[in-house]
């Protein structure tokens, strides 16, 4: 039986292996410069740059203490290779914070914890809930992360008594949040791309990122662009039949004209063919006016996606057909149009309005 920290490695496959709790095989040795080209406490790039190293060669040994020290706006945290276990909260007061994995390879720098929605609160007042399970929560505007892995390694198999099996790797709520070359590892509800309020249309941009999971593992109400990303569906041994899960579960506010945009991306997986749905709409009880939106375009959908019925319905009364789901010019076995009524397609003229520029407006992280 694999340990909690090694199971994600096995499920991810050799091409995406991550040894949680141990340095990557290719990581720099401990005597090398831990912060690479980003300086060090003795050669600080500027007064707003802080260095984090679990071996004690930086200003801080854990990420949360560094975040707390980065009061005000515009700080940069440079993380040396290592595994940082614990939860992290970036409050709204810490705007324009940048977090960088110093090695340039996200497999070297891992922020991870193992809470789930059903985990009891320390004070005995109930359970953490989905939002409370997040390893990292970002409320600040202008947050940027580069070359970092965000993970939640809680496992159903270790906790068969839990009914709340959502386990979020990161919850992102701030406007102008950008992730470049990052990895998001988990099972159910891995990447929570959300906003601070129903009326806050938080813009988020994910470029060259990797996300894995099973149930609704990219979800929330953000205005989010996923550009050249890799989504990987995981196999499951606890279910006997399809579907094993859903890749996307947007909960876009009804007043928001733009939800999730996926482009130039790919979906692969380790489950049997057609055992995953592409998406289902999430209309939460807290917002019954939600009108989920998802566009998937110019992307490769692997055989794991059910090409005949790629969409599902989460809640009675809110069928996927009533939502804003669309595709355009996708390829791969999971993109085959076998039942046209189940694969809503954009026209050429409609597709011109489904671009990063249209989604993000005057913010240009994609430039």
State the Cα–Cα distance between residues 305 and 300, nearest whole angstrom: 10
Tokens 């949680």, residue located = 20
The tokens describing 127, both together, are 């359970």
Q: In the chain, which residue ranges form alpha helices assigned H by DSSP?
A: 4-12, 63-69, 129-132, 348-351, 356-360
Alpha-carbon gap, residue 279 to 295, rounded angstroms: 10
The answer to whether 167 and 188 are in contact (CB under 8 A) is yes
> Which listed residue (114, 189, 194, 214) is catalytic?
189
Q: Which of 53, 108, 216, 306 is an active site residue?
A: 216
Coil, strand or helix at 88: strand
What angle is formed at CA 324 by the lines to CA 328 and CA 257, rounded to 5 degrees?
Answer: 105
Alpha helices in 88-180 (DSSP H): 129-132
Distance between CA 267 and CA 348 in Å, rounded?
23
Identify the CA nearest to 87 among candidates 103, 69, 67, 106. 67
Task: Verify whether residue 298 is a known catalytic residue.
Answer: no
Rounded distance, CA 187 to CA 213, Å?
A: 4
Catalytic (active site) residue 216: yes
326, 346 Cβ separation under 8 angstroms: yes
As annotated, the active-site residues are 189, 216
């Amino acid at each position: 039986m694999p340990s909690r920290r090694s199971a994600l490695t096995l499920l991810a496959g050799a091409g995406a292996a991550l040894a949680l709790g141990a340095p990557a095989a290719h990581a720099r040795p401990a005597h090398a410069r831990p912060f690479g080209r980003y300086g060090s406490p003795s050669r600080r790039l500027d007064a707003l740059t802080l260095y984090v190293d679990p071996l004690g060669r930086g200003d801080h040994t854990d990420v949360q203490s560094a975040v707390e020290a980065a009061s005000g706006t515009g700080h940069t945290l440079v993380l040396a290779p290592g595994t940082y276990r614990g939860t992290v909260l970036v409050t709204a007061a810490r705007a324009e914070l940048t977090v960088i994995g110093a090695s340039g390879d996200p497999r070297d720098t891992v922020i991870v914890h193992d809470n789930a929605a059903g985990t009891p609160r320390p004070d005995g007042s109930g359970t953490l809930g989905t939002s409370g399970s997040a390893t990292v929560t970002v409320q600040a505007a202008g947050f940027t992360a580069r070359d970092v892995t965000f993970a939640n390694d809680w496992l159903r198999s270790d906790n068969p008594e839990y009914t709340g099996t959502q386990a979020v790797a990161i919850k992102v709520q701030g406007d102008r949040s950008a992730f470049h070359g990052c990895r998001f590892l988990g099972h159910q509800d891995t990447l929570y791309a959300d906003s601070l309020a129903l009326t806050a249309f938080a813009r988020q941009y994910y470029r060259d990122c990797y996300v894995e999971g099973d149930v609704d593992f990219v979800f929330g109400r953000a205005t989010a662009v996923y550009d050249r990303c890799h989504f990987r569906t995981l196999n499951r041994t606890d279910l006997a039949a399809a579907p094993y899960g859903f890749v996307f579960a947007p909960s876009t506010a009804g007043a928001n004209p733009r939800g999730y945009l996926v482009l130039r991306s790919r979906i692969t997986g380790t489950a049997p063919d057609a055992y995953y749905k592409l998406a289902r709409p999430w209309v939460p009880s807290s917002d019954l006016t939600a009108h989920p939106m998802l566009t998937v375009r110019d992307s490769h959908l692997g055989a794991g996606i059910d090409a005949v019925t790629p969409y599902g319905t989460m809640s009675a009364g809110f069928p996927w057909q009533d939502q804003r789901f669309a595709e355009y010019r996708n390829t791969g076995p999971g993109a085959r149009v076998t039942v046209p009524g189940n694969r809503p397609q954009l026209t050429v003229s409609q597709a011109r309005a489904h671009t990063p520029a249209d989604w993000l407006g005057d913010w240009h992280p994609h430039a």
